[in-house]
Amino acid sequence: MALHIGREIETRYKESGLKLSEFAKRLNTSSRNVYDIFERSEIKTDQLERISKILNFNFFSLFQDSGVQEPTLPYANRKEKSNTISIVVELDGQESTLNQWFQRLAAINKTVN
């Protein structure tokens, strides 16, 4: 089942005990827009980062188990090793995301070599 980020945000919001008006104020938006956020299956990373801070919950961690997996042992156990692996990376413009991918790619490179 696909992750619906708006529902996850709504769940954490309800657990937080914040009033809707206070949550909206901290997000610098209207109460009506908060309800729209709860309905979204996708959200911009900068907005999710703000929501994560307000609700004191790392929503990005929910995406770690949502289907994207890094290659592991199959590359290390091959009898014929290839010198190339093709990986498609989508970046969000954040330096921290780029650094995380560099670390992942370095780990993959160690596994392959």
Question: Rounded distance, CA 16 to CA 35, Å?
Answer: 16
**8 Å CB contact between 8 and 1:** no
Q: Does residue 66 register a pLDDT over 60?
A: no
Angle made by CA atoms 26, 28, 31, in degrees to the nearest 5? 85
The first and second tokens of residue 87, run together, are: 């990986």
- Three-state DSSP at 98 gives helix
CA atoms within 13 A on the CB side of 87: 16
CB 75 within 8 A of CB 111: yes
Q: In which band, very low, low, confident or very high, does the pLDDT at 105 lie, cut at 50, 70 and 90?
A: confident
What is the C-alpha separation between 55 and 47, in angstroms, rounded? 12
pLDDT tens-place string over residues 77-100? 545 555 666 676 677 777 777 777
Residue 28 has pLDDT above 60, yes or no: yes
